[in-house]
Structure 1
Amino acid sequence: MMVRIRSWILTIAALIGAFCILVFGASLVFGLKPQIVVSGSMEPTIPTGSLLMAKEVSAAQIEVGDIVTVQRPGDAGLVTHRVTSIEQRYKDWEMTMRGDANAADDPQPYTVRVVGKIVATIPGAGYVAGVFRTPFGMTGVIVFGLAVLTAFLWNPARRAAAEGSDGTAAVAHTASAVRGKRR
């Protein structure tokens, strides 16, 4: 039973670690920025809780129909919606956007020079990534890490084999150590 639990804990840890390495590696190699979807405005195309990978590009490279992330006016956070129209205004671009689940375009166009073009979506992975951003989540990560360490280091089968099935090896070893000290 403990062997099976130990195996599951190590497997889960390995999968989470591999996922983190892939996301981090893709971010470095391809210049992508991970983002977490916190609303349903792009459903069903992009479900809430998805992890997005955005590539920073010039607004001149964007076409109607692309899904992009831009800064809301007044530093009110980011918005990820589909571009419904785009016009050049001197060095800036004015984009009108709409969430796929919304009936109308966003109230005001966004004036931008650079946007985050969405190149990959990983449904559900944003929930996992979001956990790492909270004190409760970090506590869970630490507890899980300790469980992995314990599962890796604690091996009752090895201890039982070293002692013998009835504990005689440990008793015989102790008796010979005591005899060696008397001489």
Structure 2
Amino acid sequence: MTAAIKLTISALIVVLFALSLLFVAIRTLGMATFVVTGGSMEPTIHKGSLVIDEPVSADTLRLGDIITFDHYDQTTTHRVVGIEGSASGPMFSTKGDANQVTDPEPLAFPGRVGLVKLAVPGLGYAVAWMQYIWRLGATLIAAIIFFSCAAMVFFRKDPKAAPVRSAKLSTLKLVPVRMTTAQGAEAQRIWAEHERWLRQAALATARAA
């Protein structure tokens, strides 16, 4: 491994560590981060920027504030260009700096809304890449653990099988067969008759020849 590659790897590790500390600090302060994926806020906020939001009450918003909000399941960062009162509370008109018209409808924020405190150009790309690396690493680690456990379960041997088998074999005993005198005499008589039959058969075969 060359010195340049070692230096690059060391720099990446330092960057990842610094970003991790940054996110921990941001979360500790109660703030949130978002990656800007569009160019509607150009040139104020560039595409690929990382915005840091502070959750605030909607009553504290003023004209010109840049906020991050969810609308139609989409997270948007736009500027407040109009505030109107209503029976349910203030209604906010928003618009991207690069857009020619305001957003289609005014919005109400009954809870808290993210007020953009800082936008760091280009850092959003680094954060997206880091999240991809973390997800990939977590997926690989989970796959390795899963297949390792599956292999251990599939190939493991039952330690109780061999002792049980040997225990059964060790209980087998040879029992000697004992014959009485009468049984022995009967066996000898049967064997003698068998020998006599064999001799007679041999003589008959010789005469026939």
TM-based fold match above 0.5: yes
Q: How does 1:56-95 map to 2 (within 5 A)?
A: 56-72=55-71, 75-95=72-92
Deviations 1:33-83 (A, max 9, x none): 0111111100111011111111110011110000001221xx421211000
More strand, by proportion: 1
3-state SS of 2:45 partner: coil
Superposition TM-score, scaled by structure 1 size: 0.67
**Bigger relative contact order, structure 1 or 2, given CA contacts below 8 A and separation 6+?**
1
The 3 A distance-change label for structure 1 pair 124 and 140 is: farther
CA drift of 1:132 comes to: 4.2
Residue 55 (structure 1) aligned with residue 50 (structure 2)? no
Contact 1:132–1:141 at 8 Å: present in 2 too? no
Deviations 1:89-124 (A, max 9, x none): 345321001000001111111111321000011111
3-state SS of 1:26 partner: helix
Listed as ranges, the gaps of 5+ residues in structure 1 are 144-183
Contact 2:36–2:48 at 8 Å: present in 1 too? yes
| Separation in 1, partners of 2:54, 2:88 | 20
2:74 counterpart letter in structure 1 = G
Which residue does 1:115 correspond to in 2? 113
CA drift of 1:86 comes to: 1.2
Which residue does 1:36 correspond to in 2? 35
Which residue does 2:3 correspond to in 1? 3
Identity of aligned residues (%): 32
3-state SS of 2:16 partner: helix
3-state SS of 1:115 partner: strand
Which residue does 2:136 correspond to in 1? 139
The structure with the largest alpha-carbon Rg is 2
Deviations 1:122-177 (A, max 9, x none): 1111112223454x77337999xxxxxxxxxxxxxxxxxxxxxxxxxxxxxxxxxx
Task: Decide which of 93, 97, 103 is 2:94's aligned counterpart.
Answer: 97
| Separation in 1, partners of 2:4, 2:131 | 31
Listed as ranges, the gaps of 5+ residues in structure 2 are 141-209
1:35 counterpart letter in structure 2 = F
Total equivalences in the alignment: 139
